[in-house]
Structure 1
Amino acid sequence: DGGIKYSGDIVKALAAGADAVMLGSMLAGLEESPGEIYMYEGRRYKVYRGMGSLGAMQGFGADRYASGVKKSGERDKLVPEGVEGQVPYRGKLADILYQMMGGLRSGMGYVGAANLEELREKSRFVQITNAGLLESHPHGILITKEAPNYQVRR
């Protein structure tokens, strides 16, 4: 459930056998996503409310997460599993999907896979250290202009 931050995460999930991935937070800041766009400290953001957040559960999600609570009015008995906050505005869905698909094609190319079946057959997972994970992402630089396929997580 969730955790997809980069297109490479999509490749890894599919290579490990997933038939689908959840992209809630990746899609949350898009033009087509619900929520207002607003300025904060010179940057554009959108409100993000996870489906398991208290706000979502008190609204239309109450039937899904706590049947009976919505009807009885006992909102203090809801147990949230998500959060509400803000995410950077990221533009239009078509542009982000283009980047995600490019990342998927790139990842498949790394293992020589022409389709998802080959991706699953040819992929090999290796364990790396936390230091290795940090080294595999941009480091030692203050990113001043974000690429469309890589956002700095704040």
Structure 2
Amino acid sequence: YDCAEVALRHGVPVVADGGLTSSGDIAKALAAGADSVMLGSMLAGTDESPGDVILVQGERFKEYRGMGSLGAMKARSFSKDRYFQGDVEDVDKLVPEGIEGRVPYKGPVQAILYQLVGGLRQAMGYCGAPTIEALKLESRFVRITGAGLRESHPHDVTITKDSPNYRRS
């Protein structure tokens, strides 16, 4: 929030990058002053994201490689440039800032974006904000306890069917 206030005074846009896992996180980032959000890992696993779909113990996953991963830097020079390592010739000297792994397969990106936009609209409604600009101006953050956070999520029940907008953590 403090960074966003200073950036606004100087006309510098703020991008929330990293740690976003839900539409609620997007709403909080925008409410705190972000002008945009990065959705890399949230969209990983969709049909449109790079990587092969693989089957592991009967479940589908999509291979995932962050832009700062060693594999990405080895394969593409622009990835090295992005992390200020464009002049590094020896692969053993690269310092990765990302990982390679797999994420659950999620299907078409359209379905994910529909849920994210819907969740953002719900959050804006809770705040009485008809626009993103109003969300930035009118939002108020309230600190809650760990117990309050647990109470805010499903509890005392075994989830038997995943919801398209909620994943068990």
Q: Decide: shared fold, TM above 0.5.
A: yes
Q: Give the counterpart letter for 2:118 in structure 1.
A: G
2:80 to 62, 65, 83: 62
> Is 1:141 equivalent to 2:160 in the alignment?
no
Aligned twin of 2:69: 53
1:89 to 84, 105, 114: 105
- Equivalent residue of 2:37, what SS? coil
Displaced runs of 4 or more, over 3 A = none
2:37 to 3, 12, 21: 21
Aligned twin of 2:4: none
The change in CA–CA distance for 1:139 and 1:42 in structure 2 (over 3 A counts) is farther
Greater shift in the superposed pair: 49-58 or 137-146:
137-146
Deviation at 1:62, TM superposition (A): 2.0
Deviation at 1:134, TM superposition (A): 2.5
The change in CA–CA distance for 1:16 and 1:57 in structure 2 (over 3 A counts) is same
Unaligned residue ranges in structure 1 (runs of 5+): none
Q: Give the counterpart letter for 2:87 in structure 1.
A: G
The change in CA–CA distance for 1:143 and 1:104 in structure 2 (over 3 A counts) is same
Unaligned residue ranges in structure 2 (runs of 5+): 1-16
- Equivalent residue of 2:61, what SS? strand
Number of equivalenced pairs: 150
Distance across 2 between alignment mates of 1:120 and 1:62:
35
Distance across 1 between alignment mates of 2:58 and 2:153:
26
Aligned twin of 1:41: 57
Aligned twin of 1:31: 47
Q: CA RMSD in A?
A: 1.3
Distance across 2 between alignment mates of 1:128 and 1:112:
20
Q: Give the counterpart letter for 1:83 in structure 2.
A: I
> Is 1:110 equivalent to 2:129 in the alignment?
no
| Percent identity (aligned) | 62
Asked whether the equivalents of residues 68 and 80 of structure 2 are also in contact (C-alpha less than 8 Å), the reply is no
Deviations 1:1-47 (A, max 9, x none): 21110111000001111000010000001011111111112211101
Deviation at 1:132, TM superposition (A): 2.5
- Equivalent residue of 1:143, what SS? coil
- Of the two structures, which has the highest relative contact order with CA contacts closer than 8 Å and spacing of 6 or more? 1
> Is 1:125 equivalent to 2:144 in the alignment?
no
Distance across 2 between alignment mates of 1:120 and 1:126:
15
